[in-house]
Amino acid sequence: MAIEQSVIVPAYKEKLNIKPLTTRLFAALGNEGSRKTELIFVDDNSQDGSVEEVEKLQKQGYNVNIIVRTDERGLSSAVLRGFQEAHGELLICMDADLQHPPESVPILFESLKTHPFAIGTRYAPGVGIDKDWPLYRRVISSTARMMARPLTTASDPMSGFFGLQKKYLLAANPADINSQGFKIALELLAKLPLPEDSTLGEVPFSFGVRTEGESKLSGKVIIQYLEQLKELYSYKFGLGNLLIFVLCWAILVLYALNKMLGFIWA
Ligand SMILES: Nc1nc2c(ncn2[C@@H]2O[C@H](COP(=O)(O)OP(=O)(O)O[C@H]3O[C@H](CO)[C@@H](O)[C@H](O)[C@@H]3O)[C@@H](O)[C@H]2O)c(=O)[nH]1
Ligand SMILES: [Mg+2]
């Protein structure tokens, strides 16, 4: 059976997550789904035994591959490389660390049959990720989401769990896509030539807890995100509008902070 759908997983030092992710993913897809699906890890030369782990799974019959990059690093560029190498028409990106449940992948693929772009969302009724987060994290998260609002209707534009129909990626000018950007889903949502009348598929999922390995994203992500937003605002609206947007958002952010913290007025 021809490969119709591909799951791309950027991975850096994720050896211990490779087997559980692969077995859970193909179990969730079932026999028929598994026959038409490939799984591709894009590893940045972790040298932690990830390659050997994938080879073991291949011997067990899983359609899984690993691309090892030795000359490049970075989450977004790894995802784009995986999309380039993929054979499926439907593409999904998910993290290696099981924070994105493999069991939600078939639902995301289903959504991609009728939507050019679909995104896993942690902000849907009954999901709720941030109830246990400290206040400062909730403020940062809601401010970051608000700032992406003019670029996309996605309820969770920060999500790293998303998918798209490959033809829309092929229709984009590769030079337009910033592979260094921090949020690859937001980048693609803002820049791909998606049809005007298309809706975005939204698939609620519960963001899990990483139990193996460590998060690779550091404190500088906030700066990287602001840089990316600046570029996307310029790309979409031009420089003049950018200034207006920055001003509007500064006011909105102050208002949101004030509502949450009551630090200017009660
Ligand atoms: N190849 C490659 N993979 C990378 C790199 N950096 C991170 N990854 C992989 O990218 C995935 C996400 O990295 P984490 O380190 O687990 O990130 P996180 O802090 O959990 O952030 C995730 O959640 C955010 C939402 O809170 C998402 O916004 C973000 O995109 C990511 O999915 C993991 O599979 C990790 O191995 C890199 O430089 N190269
Ligand atoms: Mg993670």
Q: Which ligand has an atom closest to residue 14 CA? A: 1
**Residue range 241-252: average pLDDT?**
69
Domains with residue ranges and CATH for the chain: 5-137+153-214 (3.90.550.10)
Residue 243 pLDDT: 61
Contact 35, 26 (CB under 8 A): no
Please say if the pLDDT value at position 265 is more than 60.
no
What is 168-203 written as a DSSP string? HHHTS-GGGS-TT-S-HHHHHHHHS---TTPPPEEE
Q: Which residue has the higher pLDDT, 239 or 88?
A: 88
Residue 250 pLDDT: 75
| Least confident residue range of 61-65, 93-97, 99-103, 124-128 | 124-128
- Give the total residue count for the chain: 266
> Does the beta carbon of 74 lie inside 6 Å of ligand 1?
yes
**Residue range 140-151: average pLDDT?**
87
215 CA → ligand 1 middle, Å: 7
| Least confident residue range of 14-23, 35-44, 83-92, 142-151 | 142-151
Task: Please provide the average confidence, as pLDDT, over all residues in the chain.
Answer: 90
pLDDT tier at 266 (50, 70, 90 boundaries)? very low
> Does the beta carbon of 95 lie inside 6 Å of ligand 1?
yes
Residue 99 pLDDT: 95
Contact 260, 139 (CB under 8 A): yes
> Does the beta carbon of 40 lie inside 6 Å of ligand 1?
no
> Does the beta carbon of 36 lie inside 6 Å of ligand 1?
no
Contact 255, 153 (CB under 8 A): no
CA distance 243 to 138: 26
Please say if the pLDDT value at position 12 is more than 70.
yes
Atom of ligand 1 nearest to the CA of 158: 28
Residue 124 pLDDT: 82
For the segment 46-76, what is each residue's pLDDT rounded down to a tens digit?
999 999 999 999 999 999 999 999 999 999 9
What are the φ and ψ backbone dihedral angles of 52, each rounded to 5 degrees? -65, -35
Residues 6+ apart with CB under 8 A from 159: 119, 120, 121, 122, 185
**3-class secondary structure, 262:** coil
